[in-house]
Amino acid sequence: MRQVVLDTETTGLAWDRGHRVIEIGCVELLARRASGRRFQRYLNPERDIDAGAQEVTGLSREFLADKPLFATVVDEFLEFIRDAELIIHNAEFDVGFLNAELSRLGPGYGRIQDYASVLDTLALARERFPGQRNSLDALCRRLDVDNSGRELHGALLDAQLLAEVYLALTAGQGDLALVVAEPETTSMAAIAMTSDPSRPRRLLKASPDECAAHEQRLDRIDRASGGSLWRRLFS
């Protein structure tokens, strides 16, 4: 499955009052692993930025004055997210702003939902942790995601943090990294080695570091899912 973790920064909190997108940040996941592909653009909003937004993002109208307009990058952006599942925290906010930007370009661009499906991690977090704070910072702390570098909000940084939060939030037994790639060919000698009950078996033991890493992984799964199958079966 192809997923794109997305975040935006904006001039204010209300797209229906004329506020605009000033940064888009995306990271791509393939089969729940970062592919290394990303999309990030600063945008000229052609308007002032609210003081609160400027304080949390560190972005000013002067800095954005020579950046491209949304109309300039829209085709590249839509191609990046096309046919993906978008992973967004508080998706209503970001999708509302992006749809407002698309509407300014005319009806031919449609809506974000015409290009990709949307999964809201805020809704996932509220189901998993009802009654608790479920901001991105709160989830980073709860799920042991290092956000120490998040002094200011940035769309690409927040998308990268959200990718880690999403993977921890939805961690299952398939994320234990215990799957070994199968060889392209298997010799008859190798088959004989594994099938002959009289042949001595080599016992491999995990190192202390490997055991510690394994326990840390199980701790993350316990916090995210309420208990790992591994510990229920083998503890």
Of the listed 19, 89, 153, 214, which one is catalytic? Answer: 153
70/154 Cα distance (integer angstroms) = 17
Region for residue 226 given its phi and psi (left: phi exceeds 0; alpha: psi -120 to 50; beta: otherwise): left
165/138 Cα distance (integer angstroms) = 10
Residue with tokens 């989830």: 139
**Residue ranges of the chain whose pLDDT lies below 50:** 173-203
The per-residue pLDDT for range 51-64, each reduced to its tens digit, is: 999 999 999 999 99
Triad 231, 233, 235: Cα angle to 5° = 50
153 catalytic? Reply is yes
How confident is the model at residue 134, as a pLDDT? Answer: 97
How confident is the model at residue 172, as a pLDDT? Answer: 63
Supply 176's token pair.
Answer: 């234990």
Supply 55's token pair.
Answer: 């304080």
How confident is the model at residue 170, as a pLDDT? Answer: 95
How confident is the model at residue 147, as a pLDDT? Answer: 86
- Is 0.85 topped by the overall pTM? no
Contact 22, 154 (CB under 8 A): no
2-170 is classed CATH 3.30.420.10: yes
How confident is the model at residue 148, as a pLDDT? Answer: 83
